[in-house]
């Protein structure tokens, strides 16, 4: 077992790779009683088309999420039932590139951990269970159809991504559900749910040595073929958008606006700044110019354009950064122009960047108060960088004004896509 210190936070990461290929990441917190375990599969909604053993497989959208629902079915009932008896809360979620099975509890560590492994490695897919879950997932999809904020983002993704499967809903749509068969489910399970393609993260109150012993012992009950290492099929994402603008109407109180900016990573190639640092820089630059302490927010609030701070988020794909800005406003066109104009003329001072670094370092320490946040932070790191960024403290400290300005200068090549939902009359 390896031990690595999280610099600046007085916390330790324990890691271990088991013989079966499963990677384990652990952060202990003995000041509390709770623990949180996630078993993650590097398989999400974007993995619909792949090649494995020389054979091409094409699946409907939503299959990863469908599989996640079915995973809880066991030959002797429902996995939730067992966790309920332990008094634990179990759940799961699917996103673009991961399916995560989680359990949160404060006692019976061994039982919880063993059962999490047991149910995820016990496929039980029959025609009957596949069919009975279809109605439930349909209602889940309709619930999102009735949520304007979700629809707003959903439409933007369909417009900003051309080939990237992020354009499809994680759940798929109702038509996709009808096409999903037991055989497809079995096939993707056998291809992707392999310890080599999975990792476990444990945070909270537990003993790392004991955890490894329990997992090792439990994994012996399952046998695995060698991992086939499927490769994703699909065309690379072009520097284009499907549509620069779309508007629609829904039950909303006032117009909802989202602006997406597609920025090629190639813009920054000549700067020789690492991927991790680039992402931190972009986040800080956007926070300074668009965040709750920005002049822009204050100005638009005092002009009555918005009454809450603009929401912003950054997504990273293989070749692009996708920056989103979102708000509710009665003046969508003004808002869009003002945001575009500000993005084209971003600036910052040495004091701005120092201030935001100081806050980010506090947030890093603060994060360790939540075993869920630590767990999810590690998950993000593994999915994005295939390692845990225990040195992020040092990276933050190396950020500087000069490099930030260079990055701003490289933002000229970009594409916009805007989506607006107006109120029904």
Element at 13 (helix H, strand E): strand 11-17
Q: What distances in angstroms separate CA 357 from CA 38, 283, 397, one per listed residue? A: 30, 11, 7
Scanning residues 343 to 372, which ones bind other proteins (CB under 8 A)?
355, 358-359, 362-363, 365-366, 368-369
Q: How far is the CB of 360 from other proteins (least distance, A)?
A: 8
Check residue 194 and report its DSSP letter. S
Q: Does 334 bind other proteins (CB under 8 A)?
A: no
Quickly tell me which residue has 């329990």 as its tokens: 214
Report the SS3 class of residue 212.
Answer: helix
Of 91, 303, 111, 297, give the one whose Cα is nearest residue 211. Answer: 111
Q: Which of 76-84, 186-194, 233-241, 399-407 is the region at the interface with other proteins (rule: CB under 8 A)? A: 76-84
Q: Which of 15-23, 168-176, 207-215, 378-386 is the region at the interface with other proteins (rule: CB under 8 A)? A: 168-176
Which alpha helices (DSSP H) does 323-391 contain, by range?
Answer: 332-344, 350-367, 371-385
Q: Which of 2, 53, 127, 136 binds other proteins (CB under 8 A)?
A: 136
Token output for 338: 């003002």
Q: Which of 49, 107, 334, 350 binds other proteins (CB under 8 A)?
A: 107
Burial of 190 by CB count in 10 Å (0-12 exposed, 13-18 middle, 19+ buried)?
Answer: middle
Q: How far is the CB of 229 from other proteins (least distance, A)?
A: 34
Q: Which of 31-39, 189-197, 231-239, 377-385 is the region at the interface with other proteins (rule: CB under 8 A)? A: 31-39
Q: How far is the CB of 104 from other proteins (least distance, A)?
A: 9
Q: Which of 129-137, 194-202, 259-267, 341-349 is the region at the interface with other proteins (rule: CB under 8 A)? A: 129-137
Shorter beta-carbon distance to other proteins: residue 307 or 387: 307
Radius of gyration of the chain measured on its C-alpha atoms: 23
In angstroms, the CA 344 to CA 414 distance is 10
Q: Does 12 bind other proteins (CB under 8 A)?
A: no
Q: Which of 218, 254, 265, 406 binds other proteins (CB under 8 A)?
A: 254
Of 52, 384, 83, 105, give the one whose Cα is nearest residue 226. Answer: 52
Q: Which of 68, 133, 164, 168 binds other proteins (CB under 8 A)?
A: 133
Q: Residues 118-139, buried b or exposed e (16+ Cβ, 10 A)? A: ebbbebebeeebbeebeeebee
Q: Does 229 bind other proteins (CB under 8 A)?
A: no
Site string for other proteins, 281-310 (x = CB under 8 A): -----------xxxx-xx--xx-x--xx--
Q: How far is the CB of 116 from other proteins (least distance, A)?
A: 15
Q: Does 158 bind other proteins (CB under 8 A)?
A: no
Q: Does 397 bind other proteins (CB under 8 A)?
A: no
Shorter beta-carbon distance to other proteins: residue 50 or 72: 72
Q: Does 274 bind other proteins (CB under 8 A)?
A: no
Of 94, 89, 92, 121, give the one whose Cα is nearest residue 106. Answer: 89
Alpha-carbon torsion (310, 296, 377, 158), positive or negative: positive
Q: Which of 18, 20, 86, 384 binds other proteins (CB under 8 A)?
A: 86
Q: Does 181 bind other proteins (CB under 8 A)?
A: no
Q: Does 143 bind other proteins (CB under 8 A)?
A: yes
Quickly tell me which residue has 């309920």 as its tokens: 84
Shorter beta-carbon distance to other proteins: residue 311 or 363: 363
Shorter beta-carbon distance to other proteins: residue 15 or 297: 297
Q: How far is the CB of 139 from other proteins (least distance, A)?
A: 4
SS3 annotation, 62-110: CHHHHHHHHHCEECCEEHHHHHHHHCCEEEEEECCCCEEEEEEECCCHH
Question: 325 has which bridge partners?
Answer: 259, 312
Token output for 315: 């997504």
Q: Does 266 bind other proteins (CB under 8 A)?
A: no
Pairing of strands 415-423, 245-250: parallel
Residue ranges that bind other proteins, judged by CB under 8 A: 31-34, 78, 80-81, 84-90, 105-107, 132-140, 142-143, 145-149, 173-175, 251-254, 292-295, 297-298, 301-302, 304, 307-308, 328, 355, 358-359, 362-363, 365-366, 368-369, 424
């Amino acid at each position: 077992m390896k031990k690595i210190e999280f610099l600046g936070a007085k916390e330790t990461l324990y890691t271990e790779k088991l013989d079966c290929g499963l990677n384990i990441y652990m952060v202990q917190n003995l000041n509390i009683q709770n623990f949180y375990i996630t078993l993650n599969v590097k398989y999400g909604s974007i993995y619909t088309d792949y090649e494995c053993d020389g054979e091409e497989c094409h699946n409907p959208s939503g299959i990863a999420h469908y599989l996640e629902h079915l995973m809880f079915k066991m030959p002797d009932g429902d996995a939730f039932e067992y966790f309920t008896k332990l008094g634990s809360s179990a759940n799961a979620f699917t996103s673009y590139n991961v399916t995560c099975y989680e359990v949160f509890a404060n006692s019976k560590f061994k039982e919880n951990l063993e059962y999490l492994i047991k149910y995820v490695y016990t496929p039980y897919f029959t025609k009957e269970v596949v069919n009975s879950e279809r109605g439930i997932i349909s209602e889940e999809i309709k619930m999102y159809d009735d949520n304007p904020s979700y629809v707003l983002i959903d439409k933007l993704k369909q417009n900003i991504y051309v080939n990237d499967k992020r354009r499809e809903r994680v759940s798929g749509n109702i038509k996709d559900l009808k096409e999903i068969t037991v055989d497809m489910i079995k096939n993707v399970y056998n291809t992707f749910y392999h310890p080599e393609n999975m990792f476990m993260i444990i945070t909270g109150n537990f003993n790392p040595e004991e955890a490894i012993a329990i997992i090792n012992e439990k994994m012996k009950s399952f046998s695995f073929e060698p991992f086939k290492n499927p490769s994703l099929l699909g065309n690379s994402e072009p520097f284009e958008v499907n549509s620069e603008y779309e508007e629609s109407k829904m039950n909303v109180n006032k117009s909802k606006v989202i602006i997406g900016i597609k920025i090629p990573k190639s813009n920054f190639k000549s700067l020789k700044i690492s991927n991790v640092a680039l992402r931190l820089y972009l986040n800080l630059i956007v926070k300074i110019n668009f965040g709750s302490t920005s002049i822009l927010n204050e100005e638009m609030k005092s002009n009555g354009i918005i009454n809450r701070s603009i929401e912003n988020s950054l997504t990273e794909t293989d070749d692009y950064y996708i920056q989103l800005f979102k708000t509710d406003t009665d003046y969508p066109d003004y808002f869009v122009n003002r945001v575009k104009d500000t993005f084209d003329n971003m600036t910052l001072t040495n004091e701005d960047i120092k201030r935001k670094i100081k806050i980010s370092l506090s947030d890093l320490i603060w994060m360790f108060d939540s075993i869920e946040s630590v767990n999810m932070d590690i998950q993000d790191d593994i999915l994005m960088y295939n390692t845990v960024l225990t040195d992020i403290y040092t990276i933050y400290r190396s950020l500087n004004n000069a490099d930030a300005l260079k990055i701003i200068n490289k933002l000229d090549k970009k594409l916009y896509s805007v989506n607006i939902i107006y109120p029904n009359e």
